[in-house]
Every structure is written in C-alpha cells, then in structure tokens.
Amino acid sequence: MKPVTSAKLKELEQANWFGAVGRSRIGGAKMVSSWMEAVVSCADSKWQTVQYDAMYLHKLAVHDKLRRITPEDRYRLDMEAIRGEVTQGNVVESGPYLKLDFPEWDQAWKALQPGIVAMVKEKTKAVVDRDGLPDVVVKRATWDVVCMAMEWEFSEVEPPGFYDDMSGVYLHGHFLCGWEGRFPEGQPIVY
C-alpha cells in the first residue's frame, strides 16, 4: 500500500462515522433526513450503477495513462471492441463496461479490499447495531472506501476523482447513499 493511501485510510479510521447523520448538512448535496430514506436510496440499483460507472471510468483513465493510450486510440479500441461484439451477435451493454485487462489494478484491489472490509465493519458496527441497519449500508460504504483507496493508490498516474471527493462525506460523519441526476451531472444524496 502506498503511503498516501495508508495516510488517507488512517484519517477515515479516525473519523466519527455516521456521527453527523440527520444533524448537519454537506454543501452541494441533496440531504435525506432518516435512515429509512437513506436505506431506500442506497439499495436502489441506480445508485449501484453510478458507483460502478465512477469506478470504471477512473480505472479506464489510469489504465490508459499507464499504457500510453491516447483518447483517439481509446475511441478506436472501444469501437473495435463494440464491432467485435456485434459481429459475434452479442448484446452490447449501453454502459461503458468493455473488458479491460488490467492486472496491476486487480492486484491492488485484491490487496486493499480485506483490510478495508474489516475497517468499515468495525467503524459502522456501533450504528448498525444501535439502529438495526441492513447489510446494504455496510456493503455500499465498503465499496466507496475500496474505490477511494484505489484512486489514492494510483494517484501518481491519475489525479484522484469522484471517490476522493466523496471521502469528505464519511470524514464529516455522513453516509453517501445515492445520486440525483444523470451521472456525472447531478449531485450526491447524503444522510
């Protein structure tokens, strides 16, 4: 793990998780006012899609920088991949998820994930137990922190983006539970 990732995770570990839910506001976010609303929002597959899109777009940017793939080359490669899928009669998803062979990313993910799973479980346990929160809250928060760590881990290649921006939500004691609008336009939904 890079020192920057370790330092940022330490900050998160020292934060008062969910300590400000329902109390203060986060600028530029749509706030919800109860765990009920937060759970319904975060369980929505639309939010899961935004979470995945944000991760994938960053992964692609890191990959292309490392492999010295220009935006023109990226366009050409994507078009070739789509043509290949269509020629084989496969359905091409409307999302941006084309297969990306990127072992450095996969290895870093595999190395970071177990520690983050344990950390998020520990940091959320008190509130989960007190308020009887369902698993989906911990799942969504864990995904967010793994993606933050991945952005920090590759920050020498590509400046951190979406998830780094969202780390403030957790640092300030809130829960990131959705997205309003058509990503990347729009704003986060926060409890």
Partner 1 sequence: MNPRTQTLLQTLENADWFSCVGKRDLPNVAYVSSWLHAAASFPNVEWGNLGLQRGHIIENKASQKSKERAQLWSELLKEFRPLLNEMVKRKTETVVKAQGLPAPFVSNVFGDMLGIAMESEYSDIVAPDFYTNLILDAYLKGHFPCGWEGKYPEGKLIVY
Which residues bind to partner 1, rule: CB under 8 A?
Answer: 34-37, 39-40, 43-46, 131-136
Cβ 58 to partner 1, closest distance in Å? 25
Cβ 111 to partner 1, closest distance in Å? 30
The DSSP secondary structure of 92-158, one letter per residue, reads PPSSS------HHHHHHHHHHHHHHHHHHHHHHHHHHHHHT--HHHHHHHHHHHHHHHHHHHTTTTS
**Dihedral of alpha carbons 188, 15, 131, 163, sign:** positive
Amino acid making up residue 149: A
Residues 6+ apart with CB under 8 A from 146: 109, 112, 113, 116
Cβ proximity to partner 1: between 41 and 167 the closer is 41
Cβ proximity to partner 1: between 122 and 131 the closer is 131
Token pair for residue 76?
């050409």
Cβ 12 to partner 1, closest distance in Å? 24
**Dihedral of alpha carbons 125, 127, 130, 131, sign:** negative
Cβ proximity to partner 1: between 17 and 35 the closer is 35
Cβ proximity to partner 1: between 67 and 121 the closer is 121
Cβ proximity to partner 1: between 38 and 108 the closer is 38
List the beta bridge partners of residue 189: 30, 178
Residue 63 CA neighbour count, 13 Å, CB half: 17
Cβ 136 to partner 1, closest distance in Å? 5
Cβ 126 to partner 1, closest distance in Å? 16
Cβ proximity to partner 1: between 12 and 138 the closer is 138
Amino acid making up residue 3: P
Cβ 40 to partner 1, closest distance in Å? 5
